[in-house]
Structure 1
Amino acid sequence: MKAHVADLRRERLLELLFAAEDVPILRRRLTECAARAGLGEPRRSDFVLAVHEVACNAVEHGGGAGRLLLYRCDGTLHCRVSDHGPGFTEEAIPPDPPGLCGGEGGRGLWLTQQLTDRLEIAAGAVGAVVTLAMGLR
């Protein structure tokens, strides 16, 4: 089997399964790994907050748990979060900032989109796969 060129350049930094009680540890480990990867402040804090929002969505809407994969590739830090929920598409992200009052959904996804350089949402075999990316330069 031939490996994809992009896969050969990936440097895996962190991989873990998580549930609600693991989110504080996830944030701490993600912060440490992002710092070692070269993501400086304030972008590091933005990245960690964005991943936190996606991880909390995986716990709340995606079956109670998720899987996180953090890797560096071509000067960019990527974080992929997958879950076993019903899945969703990019249409779930409101085009305008959601109000702070009311039952509007999508606030965390909207914030994630604002804080990162790239946000991709795809359907997995089961659930959703959300990938966030931030340039290290």
Structure 2
Amino acid sequence: MTTTPGPREVPPVTLLESRFTQDDLPRLRMLVEQYADHQGLTEPRRSDFIVALDAVAVNAVEHAGGGGTLVLQRSNGHLACHIHDMGPGFSADVIPELAPGLDGQVGGRGLWLAGLLTDELTISAGPGGSMVTLTVELPKAHG
């Protein structure tokens, strides 16, 4: 069996890295929106991306020690926002499959919403906290 190599993976380019607390959230939303616009993410996807990252960042503030670190990266036609916190960790099991409240679960609304508004939501957790990554595909360049 032979395989054909796929397109070459380009290492991620870090656009923004910032620690944050509750007081930093308005500035962080504005900065990410500016970077997303500059990278070509158009409306309404750009606003969806901002709402999703805000939901996850607010979770970090409320449930994981009052803040975290946000890293915004571009790679292979995608924009990824990684939000790391130092909380006790959780898993994707906390995200309701149905609209929150319809499935009997009380929590998970922010993650549920973030999952709806982005192309991919991944969660990893370990002894050093949790990382939630929100990814959206950037529009193809017109040329």
TM (norm. structure 2) is: 0.86
Tell me by how many angstroms 1:11 deviates.
Answer: 1.2
1: CA distance between counterparts of 2:128 and 2:15? 24
Q: Does 1:94 align with 2:96?
A: yes
Q: Secondary structure at the match of 1:121?
A: strand
The structure 1 segments of at least 4 consecutive aligned residues displaced by more than 2 Å after TM superposition are none
2: CA distance between counterparts of 1:107 and 1:126? 24
Q: What is the identity, as a one-letter code, of the residue corresponding to 1:79?
A: C
Q: Secondary structure at the match of 1:48?
A: helix
Q: What is the identity, as a one-letter code, of the residue corresponding to 2:130?
A: A
Q: Quote the residue 1:104 is aligned against.
A: 106
Q: Quote the residue 2:137 is aligned against.
A: 135
2: CA distance between counterparts of 1:21 and 1:12? 23
CA deviation vs aligned residue, 1:61-116 (integer Å, no higher than 9, x gap):
0111100000000000000000011110000100100139x981101110000000
Tell me by how many angstroms 1:10 deviates.
Answer: 1.1
TM (norm. structure 1) is: 0.90
5+ residue gaps, structure 2, are 1-7
2: CA distance between counterparts of 1:41 and 1:14? 20
Aligned residue pairs, count: 131
1: CA distance between counterparts of 2:68 and 2:108? 18
Larger Rg: 2
| Seq. identity, % | 50
* Alignment of structure 1 residues 30-109 onto 2, 5 Å: 30-99=32-101, 104-109=106-111
Q: Quote the residue 2:30 is aligned against.
A: 28
Higher share of residues assigned helix: 1
